[in-house]
């Protein structure tokens, strides 16, 4: 009889890494099933797009990975139950794609790829990643990582109305003039003020929030107030801007820009979103919800210049995890 050890999955935002732990332990992985009502096709995306068009629907590709807690949360809150479920069923044809899967997906008559190969071609780095297709089966819009129910509803309505054809998600949400309780910006001891980014030689973390942010309060109260997170943020010049602001600032290239323009230029469609810079270069961004372990690891990846030795963050995440486990340190990926 062969004894098998269950593999736990680490996720960055939505990005997952498999590991075996001999010393420390990894906890927090989630086992889940995709809903039975998802489109059970032959994974012919072009055909699915045409069928969806005939039903006045949009194809939604749900990229996931077994064990991913962020994927589990998105499925449970939006695709299995909750106030978004009926809207999704009415407007979208949902196809699940496992980023490590071996099933063949036909993108066109002349192109067929495995799930894993397609995920690599589309640069899917986070799970869940959601890609919406237009009438021609091409990518119309995508989200990288977990969204809470309210934030995901904004995305769903944006795509269902086909507003992506003429405006950004940020501008779309701002124009709706939400009459519900607006988010009031919360102060944080680590936040500093800057408007000329050519003046600093330390790593820079630029936080973008706005009045319509549905996850910013949780971000402040349950993440960046943690002592371990504060310790990592203290290595940065940590600056916040209103994503709707047209305030003139001098970018790392010496050119005038604004928070609104930066959000557009870096395709940052999540609030709170963060751009991480070092030596004047944008190394990566945080464009979805992260728990503390993944958040701290991303910060450390940039501030410690580990990106110079690990061009892919996934490789560094794996190395950092192994380092902690070898020391007997347990890792809770949902803490």
pLDDT in tens, the chain (335 residues): 333 333 333 334 444 444 444 588 988 888 899 999 998 766 777 777 777 778 889 999 999 999 899 999 999 999 999 999 999 999 999 999 999 988 887 776 667 788 898 898 888 888 999 999 988 888 999 999 999 999 999 999 999 999 999 999 999 999 986 666 789 999 999 999 999 998 788 999 999 999 999 999 999 999 999 999 999 999 999 999 999 999 999 999 999 999 999 999 999 999 999 999 999 999 999 999 999 999 999 999 999 999 999 998 989 998 999 999 999 999 999 99
Q: What is the pLDDT of residue 30?
A: 82
d(C-alpha 104, C-alpha 90), whole Å: 27
Q: What is the pLDDT of residue 136?
A: 81
Q: What is the pLDDT of residue 15?
A: 43
181: left (phi over 0), alpha (psi -120 to 50) or beta: beta
Torsion sign, CA atoms 284, 171, 79, 98: negative
The position carrying tokens 């309210």 is: 150
Q: What is the pLDDT of residue 8?
A: 32
d(C-alpha 210, C-alpha 23), whole Å: 43
Q: What is the pLDDT of residue 4?
A: 32
d(C-alpha 320, C-alpha 312), whole Å: 13
Q: What is the pLDDT of residue 50?
A: 75
Q: What is the pLDDT of residue 5?
A: 31
CB–CB of 206/275 below 8 Å?
A: yes
């Amino acid at each position: 009889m062969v004894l098998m050890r269950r593999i736990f999955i680490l996720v960055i935002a939505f990005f997952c890494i498999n590991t075996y732990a001999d010393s420390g332990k990894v906890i927090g992985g989630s086992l889940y099933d995709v809903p039975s009502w998802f489109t059970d096709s032959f994974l012919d995306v072009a055909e699915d797009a045409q069928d969806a068009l005939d039903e006045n629907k949009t194809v939604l590709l749900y990229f996931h990975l077994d064990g991913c807690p962020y994927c589990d949360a998105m499925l449970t809150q939006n695709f299995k139950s909750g106030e978004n479920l009926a809207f999704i069923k009415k407007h979208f044809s949902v196809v699940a794609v496992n980023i490590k899967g071996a099933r063949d997906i036909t993108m066109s008559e002349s192109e067929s790829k495995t799930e894993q190969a397609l995920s690599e071609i589309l640069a899917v780095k986070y799970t869940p990643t959601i890609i919406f297709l237009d009438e021609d089966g091409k990518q119309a819009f995508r989200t990288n990582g977990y969204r809470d129910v309210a934030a995901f509803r904004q995305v769903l309505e944006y795509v269902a109305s086909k507003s992506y054809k003429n405006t950004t998600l940020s501008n779309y949400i701002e124009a709706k003039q939400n009459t519900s309780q607006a988010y009031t910006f919360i102060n944080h001891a680590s936040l500093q003020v800057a408007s000329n980014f050519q003046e600093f030689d330390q790593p820079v973390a630029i936080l973008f929030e706005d009045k319509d942010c549905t996850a910013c309060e949780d971000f402040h109260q349950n993440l960046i107030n943690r002592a371990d997170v504060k310790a990592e943020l203290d290595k940065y010049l940590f600056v916040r801007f209103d994503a709707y602001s047209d305030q003139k600032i001098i970018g790392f290239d010496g050119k005038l820009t604004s928070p609104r323009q930066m959000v557009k230029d870096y395709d940052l469609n999540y609030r709170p979103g963060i751009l991480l810079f070092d030596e004047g270069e944008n190394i990566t961004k945080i464009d979805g919800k992260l728990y503390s372990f993944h958040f701290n690891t991303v910060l450390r990846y940039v501030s410690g210049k580990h990106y110079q030795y690990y061009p892919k963050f996934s490789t560094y995440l794996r190395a950092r995890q192994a380092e902690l486990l070898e020391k007997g340190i347990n890792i809770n990926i949902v803490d």
